Each structure stands twice: as structure tokens, then as C-alpha cells.
Structure 1
Amino acid sequence: MSKKWSIAALVLYVVYAVGMYFYIFHGASGGVPATLKGTVADPQTFMTERELYLSDDYSKIRNFLFFVVTPFEWLVYFLILFMGISRVFEKWADTKWRLFKNGAYLFLLNLFTTIVFYPIDIYRYSLSKEYGISTQGFSSWMRDYVIDFWVNFGTTLLIVLVLYWLIQKSAKKWWLYAWLLTIPFAIFMMYLQPVVIDPLYNEFTPLKDKELEAKILSLADQADIPSDHVFEVDMSEKTNALNAYVTGIGGNSRIVLWDTTLNNLTDEEILFIMAHEMGHYVEKHIYIGIALYLLSMLVGLWLISKIMPWMVSKFGRVLNIEKVSDIRSLPLFLVLASFLLFISNPISNTVSRYQETRSDEYAMELTGDAEAAVSTFQNLAKAGLSEVNPPWLVKIFRYTHPPMLERINTIARYTDKNEVETEQQAE
């Protein structure tokens, strides 16, 4: 029976992957609307022919990988269950102390899946190098890869140990107790991220350009944002992409600029980016994000608490799971969590794109520099080889930010609106 289910899962995945291949490479095409041809939003006006070719090629490959890798993860976890590998890991990890048993099982599972996904990860790294996005050497990449493994294992270990202890203690209400613990844990991780985790990967230093720092802090003062320091991070050793962000909460909040951004953009463009990030602060997006995250966690854990016991009772023999509280059921939990996260992407991304649009509008209100805004978006698109107008399915599942075509149009609409208002006032 397990063999039949394994074959069926493989066939279903292959059919899905072939369908996505034709959709990405031969079907959907965003393109540029005829009305915007030749405008500042048209990539042909600010990208070279080679950049246009690389952008189209690179975007399609990345989009295809996104849509096939996550379902491949589900397939791997199901095969781990169908083929009895999960039961073997549980047997190898067996001790009289449940916490040690669950921890050892998680290590074996993480190690196994890391090995399985390593070829995909190395391909992604090579792809980024080939298209000129990554500048990171292999040894540096492997260092980050190992750090990723242990950071992810450490955080997952804490979650899994608590989760399965709760499932064992309260089979019906574990999801509620787990959610209640999620609240302080999420806030703690956000507080910890900028000062403990981020420095494991890169070196953060106070912004060296004090003149630019003064301009940024002056902008922050206009927006009533409490901030004393701006940090720069040495990302040029790893990438040619551009970025800036505000991270952390409370006393650990900080403004961070990638050195690639400092090296490739003008002060006016950097100030527009900073104004955009300040828009997130002013609009309370970080707190809205926390609230939505907690709400989604509540719904997700409740759904898992209903679906998982049903699947174990219905397909327990095929999945080699006797009861939900067995640690060997973890792959099933991970599949359900990943699936729910995947199908919720269109909702969370829609909210995120709305917030990004609001921040773009705020940045225009704060700086009033439409020229810097447009050139910033053009440079971001060039540096990241971004699609300015992706296919619909790609946009709703992948894009947390509006495509560059929409962002430039937002600036154009804002400028036109201001011009009309100015003319009306003059009359």
C-alpha cells in the first residue's frame, strides 16, 4: 500500500511540475502594457538588451523553482512517512527520556532533509552567481549554509520540544496553548534578530558617511521617528543587489543600509528609500504585521489540530503513524504547516503589497522627489534583474512588494494628483 501511495505522489508531483513549467516558460507573460511603452516604467528605457534578456531568463527560472520546490518539500516529507524512514529515525533516537528522543529525532530529520535539498540549494547559489547577482565565494556561502542549519535547528528544536510536550499533555487544546506561547516567542525573536542572529552572517557598523547619516536622521526627525544611529552592513561581499530596511523593536530597532545601496545610489535616492522605510514605522506596519502573523498562527494551528488527527485515523497505516503525539508524526505536521502557509501567500502578499504602496506614497509626501523615486525603482530592478510586470500567478504567490511597473505608476499618479491640486489652488 505504501509503495502505491509513494508512486501516486511522485506521479502527481511530476504532472504538477510539468504544468508549471509550461505556465512559466511558455504560457504566462506579464509584458508591458501598450500605454506604458516608452515611458519611465518600460524596462527598455532603462535596461540594456543584455539586462532585459537576463532579467527575463533569470526571473522565469526563479519563478519555476519557487513553484516546484515547496511542493517537492511536501513530497519528500510524505515519502519519509510512506517509506517508513520517519519510523526508523524514531527508533534510532529512542531513549527513555522523551525530550532527548524528540531532539535526536529532529536532528536526524533535519540532517536528512538538508542533504536531500543541498543540490537544489547549490543550484540556486550557482544560478545567482551565473547571473551576476551573487558575489559570494563558495567557502563563504558554505559558512552561511552551516550557520543556517544550526540556527534553524536551534529554533525548531525549542518549538518542537514544547509543541510535542503540549500535544502529549492536552490532545484537544494543545493548539491554543501553543498559540499563546507563540506571542512572547515571536516578540522575543524580533527583539533578538538584529543584535544576535543578523551579526552571525554579516558585520554591522555605524554609517561611515556622517553627512548622509545627518540627512537620514533629519528625515527621521521630520517623521517623528526616534532613531539615533544608522547602520551599514557589508553585503557587497555577497551580492550586487540593493536593499535597506528598518529592523527590530524597542531599544533594538535600527535603520540598516546595505553597502551596495550606498555605493550605487545617490543621496537623494537613498533618502527616498529611507523615507519609504520610515513610512512602515509611521503607518504601524510592523505591529499590524505582528497581529496578522498571530492571527494566521491561531487559524493555522487550529486547522492542523483538526486535520492531523483525521489523517492519522484515516491513513495512519500508510503514513506509519500510530498517534499524533508520536514524534514520527512531525513530517506530517511540517507538510500541513507548509501547505497552509503556501496557500495563504496570496492573502498575506496582498496585505504586504498594500503596505508597500502606502509606504511609497508616504515617501513621496516626505521627500517630494519624484525623479529620485523613479530612478530608485529603476536601479533596484536593474540590480536584482527583476520582472517589472510578472504574470498574475507569480505576482499573487511571490510578490510581497508591488512590481516595479506598479510602483513607478504610483509615483506618476501621486505626481499628477499633486499637479492637479496645485492648479486648482492657483485658480
Structure 2
Amino acid sequence: MAKKWGITALLLFGVYALGMYFYIFHSDSGGIPTALKGTVADPHVFMSERELYLSEEYSKIKNFLFFVAAPFEWLILFFILITGISQAFERWIPLQNRWAIWQNAVYLFLLSLLMFIVLFPLEYYRYSLSKYYGISTQNFNSWMRDNVIEFWVNFGTTVVIVTVLYWLINKSTKKWWLNAWLLMIPFSIFLMFIQPVLIDPLYNDFYPLTNKELETKILSLAEQANIPTEQVYEVNMAEKTNALNAYVTGIGSNSRIVLWDTTLNRLSENEILFIMAHEMGHYVEKHIYFGIAGYILTMLVGLWLTAKLMRRIIARHGRVLKINRINAIHSLPLFLLITSFLLFVSSPLSNYISRYQETRADQYAIELVVDPEAAVSTFQELTKAGLSEVNPPLLVKWFRYSHPTMLERITKVANEIGKEE
């Protein structure tokens, strides 16, 4: 039976990957509407022929990798279950009668190491691809260092979460999801609070903005927006990427407005001020707190669905999946598979909400800085730096785009200019 399930899973993955290949590489979706050709939103206007070619080629490969990566991970987790590898990892634990956290740490190390090794070729291909197309500037040693740091940060966090999770499942196999959700709320907020000061600096160096004249202008915008901030941070990303970015992270006293040094090096002062006004728009609109509330609600629904699905799947197919009971640590790959699947299928909704918030932040920035030309040129530069599609296919937009497409963003600003004229 397990062999039959394995062959079926491989065939389904193959058919899905083939379908996505034809959709992304050979469908006619996307492109520039006839009415917008030759306008400031048309990449043929602001990108060179080589940039256009690389953008189209790079975007298609990236999109295809995105759509096959998650199902490929599900496939690996599925095979870890049906081949008995997960059960074997649990049997190999040398600390059977010791504290649960140590037993879980050994199991999770074995599982995490296996997933890291199996998925490494895909991650390395993504890194090589980004390097080949001139997006990444990071050397291999630095890239590996980031991967190792990420492995251990995720491992340490997961050991704590999984230990508490399976303790709750042992306490109540029916209501564990509700108790887990209640505990995850303060834990998630705590992680958001410490991320800017403890986790992010593990990967990059953050320091106050060195251009004090620019900082004064940014703080002046913040004052207009009634934002109580005294400092803007920059981060050294030029040694890793040519892409541009700025963002707001953290909550409360640990919140930060951060500019990549690539953004500082490539954009004009007016373009940087527009980006900062956009980030301030998120603060003014309280998007961080709406995001936290949405995350908490999503966790509640996700944990409830996961609990229902795990019980039903184990009851019906536990023998094939080599799962004896839900409260055994070897059931974890099923938990990870279900939660990953739910996150993937719910991403169009979360992306839709995010795009709405980004549109609001764009509108706020346009009104605050009153410089639509800088807004247009900013979006154009962001497109060129990331070799982005300005109008991706519909499925790509639904599943990948947490921001409006550049076609939508540039067109909106161009319409604002038209109204003024």
C-alpha cells in the first residue's frame, strides 16, 4: 500500500509540475495592455532590451520554482512518513527516559538535517540563479553562513514550539489546538519584539543612517505624519544583493525603519523620501497591528483545521503513514505537511489583504511628499533592480505578490498626475 501511495504521489507531483510549466512558460497571460503601451508603466519605455529579456526569463524561472518548491517539500515529508524514516528517527533517540525537550531536540535535529540536505540542491540553484542574473552579489561562503545561521535559529525556535505543542497534545488530544493557539499569541508577539535587535543582526549589520542631512528630511516627514521616531537605520546589503528595499519591522519600542544601503546608493533623495513616506504610511494606517491581529486569527483557524485533519488522516491512514498515535513525535511531518499546505492555499487571501495595505501606503506617500514623478521613477528603478515583471500572470499575482503589480502602482501614480494637469 505504501509503495502504491508513493507512486501515486510522484505521478501527481509530476502532472502538477508539468501543468505549471506550461502555464508559466507558454501561456499568454500577463503582458502589457494595449492601452498602456508606450506609457510610463510600459517596461519597454524604461528598461533596456537586455533588461527586458532577462526580466522575462528570470521571472518565469522564479515563478516556476515557487510553484513547485512547496509541493516538493510536501512530497519529501510524505515520503519521510510512508517509508518509516520518521518512526526510525524516534527509535534512534538515545534519551528515551529523559526530559521531553532533549528527546525532541534529537528528533528535530535529525529531521531538520535531512530536510536541509534534500532541499539544499534547490536552494543552491535559486542562489546560483540569482547570482547569474545579477541580483545576488553574495559569495558562496557568506551565503552558506546565512543558511547555517538560519538552520540553527529555526532549530532552536522549533525545539521550544514542538516540545510545548506535543506536551499539549499529550494533555488533550482534542483541545490541544486551542491551548496551543493561546500560548502562541504571546510567543509570536515576543518574537516580533526581539527580531529587530536579536535575530536580524545575526545576518547583517544595522547602524544609524550615516547621511544626517537625509535623516533630517526623513524625520521631518515623520513629524508631519505624527510618528514618534528619532532614528532611521541602514543595513549593509550591497555585499549580498543589487535589489532595493526598505521596511518597517518590530513592534513597540523595538520597531525600526530600515533602509538598505543599495537603496541609498541607487535612488535619488526624492525617491528615497517617497519610499520612507510609504513606510510611514504603514505606521499611520496601523498595518503592523492589523497584521498581528490577522496572524493571530489565521493561527486559530489553521490550528483548528490542522487538528481536525490530523485526527481524520491518522484514523483512516495511520497504518500506511506509519503513525501510531497523534501524540507521538513521529507524527510531526504530517503536522508540518498540513500546515504548509494550508499556508500555501491561503496565500491568495493574505496577499490580497497585503496588496490592499500596500496600495493604502502608496496613496499616503503620494499625498505626503506630493512628488508623483519621484514615485514613478522609484517604481521603475525597483522593477529594474529586481528584474521584476510589471504585470505577471494571474496565478502568480494571487500566490506570490504581496504588493500590487508595478503596472498597477505606476498607472495609479500616472493617473494622479493626469488629474493634476
- Please, what TM-score do these two structures have when normalized by structure 1? 0.97
Distance in 2 between residues matched to 1:161 and 1:90, nearest whole Å = 14
Write out per-residue CA displacement over residues 227-284 of structure 1, whole angstroms, 9 at most, x where no aligned residue: 1011111000000000011111111111111000000000000000000000000001
Q: Post-superposition shift, 1:217?
A: 0.3
- From 113, 116, 130, the equivalent of 1:114 is 116
Give 1:115-194 correspondences, 5 Å limit.
115-194=117-196
Q: Structure 1 107/402 Cα, relative in aligned 2: closer, same or farther at 3 Å?
A: same
Match of residue 21 from structure 2: 21
Q: Post-superposition shift, 1:125?
A: 0.5
Match of residue 385 from structure 1: 387
Distance in 1 between residues matched to 2:93 and 2:59, nearest whole Å = 42
Give 1:13-412 correspondences, 5 Å limit.
13-94=13-94, 95-97=96-98, 98-412=100-414
Q: Post-superposition shift, 1:416?
A: 3.5
Distance in 2 between residues matched to 1:44 and 1:73, nearest whole Å = 37
Write out per-residue CA displacement over residues 23-76 of structure 1, whole angstroms, 9 at most, x where no aligned residue: 110114310000000000000000000000000000000000000010000000
Q: Post-superposition shift, 1:414?
A: 2.9
SS in 2 for 1:381: helix
Is the 1:29–1:391 contact (alpha carbons within 8 Å) kept by the matching residues of 2? yes
Distance in 2 between residues matched to 1:392 and 1:120, nearest whole Å = 25
Match of residue 422 from structure 1: none
Distance in 2 between residues matched to 1:216 and 1:6, nearest whole Å = 57
Distance in 2 between residues matched to 1:29 and 1:264, nearest whole Å = 32
Is the 1:30–1:389 contact (alpha carbons within 8 Å) kept by the matching residues of 2? yes
Is the 1:233–1:259 contact (alpha carbons within 8 Å) kept by the matching residues of 2? yes
Match of residue 424 from structure 1: none
Is the 1:345–1:397 contact (alpha carbons within 8 Å) kept by the matching residues of 2? yes
Distance in 2 between residues matched to 1:231 and 1:307, nearest whole Å = 44
Q: Kindly, what percent of the aligned residue pairs are identical?
A: 68
- Letter of the 1:218 counterpart: S
Distance in 1 between residues matched to 2:366 and 2:248, nearest whole Å = 18
- Please, what TM-score do these two structures have when normalized by structure 2? 0.98
Distance in 1 between residues matched to 2:93 and 2:400, nearest whole Å = 38
Unaligned runs of 5+ in 2: none
The total of aligned residue pairs comes to 419
Q: Post-superposition shift, 1:418?
A: 4.6
Is the 1:361–1:414 contact (alpha carbons within 8 Å) kept by the matching residues of 2? no
Q: Post-superposition shift, 1:412?
A: 2.1
Write out per-residue CA displacement over residues 370-391 of structure 1, whole angstroms, 9 at most, x where no aligned residue: 0000000000000000000000
Moved more, 295-304 or 248-257: 248-257
SS in 2 for 1:316: helix
SS in 1 for 2:374: helix
Is the 1:357–1:410 contact (alpha carbons within 8 Å) kept by the matching residues of 2? no
Report the aligned-residue RMSD. Answer: 0.9
SS in 2 for 1:246: strand
- Letter of the 2:232 counterpart: V
Moved more, 318-327 or 99-108: 99-108
Distance in 1 between residues matched to 2:28 and 2:183, nearest whole Å = 43
Unaligned runs of 5+ in 1: 420-427
SS in 1 for 2:296: helix
Distance in 2 between residues matched to 1:271 and 1:334, nearest whole Å = 42
Distance in 1 between residues matched to 2:305 and 2:261, nearest whole Å = 43
Is the 2:101–2:159 contact (alpha carbons within 8 Å) kept by the matching residues of 1? no
- Letter of the 1:57 counterpart: E
